[in-house]
Amino acid sequence: MAKRKTIVETSADIISDLKKKIYKPVYILSGDEHYYIDLISDFIAQNVLTESEKAFNLTTLYGKDLEVKTIVETSRRFPMMANHQVVIVKEAQQIKSIEDLEVYIKAPQKSTILVICHKLAPGVKLKAKVRQLYTAAGKIGVFIDSKRLYDNKVPGWITGYLYNKGFSIAPKSTELLTEFLGNDLSKVVNELDKLIVTMPSGVTQITTDHIEKNIGISKDFNRFELNTALGQRDIMRVNRIVDHFAKNPAANPFVVTVSSIHQYFIKIFKHYFIQDKSERNLAVQLGVNPFFVSEYTRAARIYKPSKCVQIFELLREYDLKSKGLDNSSVTHGDLLKELVFKIMH
């Protein structure tokens, strides 16, 4: 059985075909990862038609208050002084009865390139009837389901993106960016592009110093460093970071910090039960870069499974306290100080 292509590979194939002027009548771009939806639709808008052709043959429609009938009528028009017309429908998720587009999908206009941009909220799936329609459209055109990357896939994605731009970055730096930016690729790309522009001429290795200076992420006081310090039971370093968090609560929300600590200790807990403890297997099973495997191995010697279970209970307890349960006055900063103390003792 052939390996299913990733969204990265699929989008690259689509753009490659577009560059070769291999066009499909319908492009259904859907999912909760909006980066690839924008990447492909923007490429079509900017490159399929010449500048002179765009004036009469490029139409952009927006989903709010848009009827399917308008999409069909617009798509059935013939191009003016061009081989194709491009119709781009943005915010298609706001269109009522989008499944009525079936009438056009069954008999699309050959000279029209119809692009449907259906952006979903994180974790939301297409309705069954809509997915059925889009799947059918994919048989005569293109249908992509652009899903958000898992957090542990983002560092590798960042490395690949920068490599294609002519830059390299160390694993620690990618983890720092991931911890701060999350898995919204549009946000990640925006920050990476700004970082690239600010890099000194001739410098292609991105470091934590560059990240701190140009993106504003502290290389010493962040959730990634806090987890590492907890894993080493470095009390002094943990206290310095937590004190910084307490003084800057807006940039370091308690709930996000607790979630980060939880994910870190989940990996430590899993480490104990993995029989094949070779570096390669541990990296795969834990979902981390091999560079960090030794860190989890050391942490697993300090935090046995029984202690990890206690830590999970503590994290749940303090998460509830942060939301007001059995706590009416203690600040999030003080709650975090109490929490990390109990984790390490």
Q: How far apart are CA 295 and CA 311, in angstroms?
A: 18
What are the CA-CA distances from residue 160 to residues 53, 101, 163, 192 (Å)? 35, 37, 5, 12
Determine the pLDDT at residue 328. 65
Cα of 298 vs its chain's centroid, Å = 29
Tell me the fold of 223-344. Answer: Zinc Finger, Delta Prime; domain 3 (1.20.272)
Q: How far apart are CA 315 and CA 305, in angstroms?
A: 15
What is the SS3 assignment for 89?
strand
Return the H-helix or E-strand segment holding 144. strand 142-145
User: What does 234-261 look like in DSSP terms, one character per residue?
Assistant: -HHHHHHHHHHHHH-TTTS-HHHHHHHH
CATH architecture of 151-215: Orthogonal Bundle (1.10)
Tell me the pLDDT band of 242, cut-offs 50, 70 and 90: very high
Mean of pLDDT values over 130-146: 95
Q: How far apart are CA 25 and CA 102, in angstroms?
A: 14
Positive or negative, the Cα torsion across 207, 213, 215, 219? positive
Judge whether residue 229 has pLDDT over 90.
yes
Determine the pLDDT at residue 3. 65
Percent of the chain with pLDDT over 70: 99
CATH architecture of 7-145: 3-Layer(aba) Sandwich (3.40)
Judge whether residue 222 has pLDDT over 50.
yes
The per-residue pLDDT for range 244-268, each reduced to its tens digit, is 999 988 888 999 999 999 999 999 9
Q: Which of 174-178, 206-210, 324-328 shows the lowest per-residue confidence on average (mean pLDDT)?
A: 324-328
Q: Which of 225-229, 255-259, 279-283, 328-332 shows the lowest per-residue confidence on average (mean pLDDT)?
A: 328-332
**Mean pLDDT for all residues in the chain:** 93
Mean of pLDDT values over 120-125: 90
Q: How far apart are CA 23 and CA 17, in angstroms?
A: 7
Domain ranges of the chain: 7-145, 151-215, 223-344
Q: How far apart are CA 6 and CA 234, in angstroms?
A: 40
For residue 150, count other CB atoms closer than 10 A to its CB.
Answer: 9
Q: Which residue has the tokens 């009416």?
A: 328
The per-residue pLDDT for range 159-169, each reduced to its tens digit, is 999 999 999 99
Q: How far apart are CA 63 and CA 85, in angstroms?
A: 19
Tell me the pLDDT band of 1, cut-offs 50, 70 and 90: very low
The per-residue pLDDT for range 299-321, each reduced to its tens digit, is 999 999 999 999 999 999 999 99
Judge whether residue 80 has pLDDT over 60.
yes
Percent of the chain with pLDDT over 90: 81
299 contact partners, CB below 8 Å, separation of at least 6: 231, 232, 268, 271
Tell me the pLDDT band of 123, cut-offs 50, 70 and 90: confident
Judge whether residue 326 has pLDDT over 80.
no
Q: How far apart are CA 264 and CA 238, in angstroms?
A: 15
Torsion of Cα atoms, 17 then 22 then 27 then 29, to 10°: 10
Q: What is the largest CA-CA distance in the chain?
A: 76
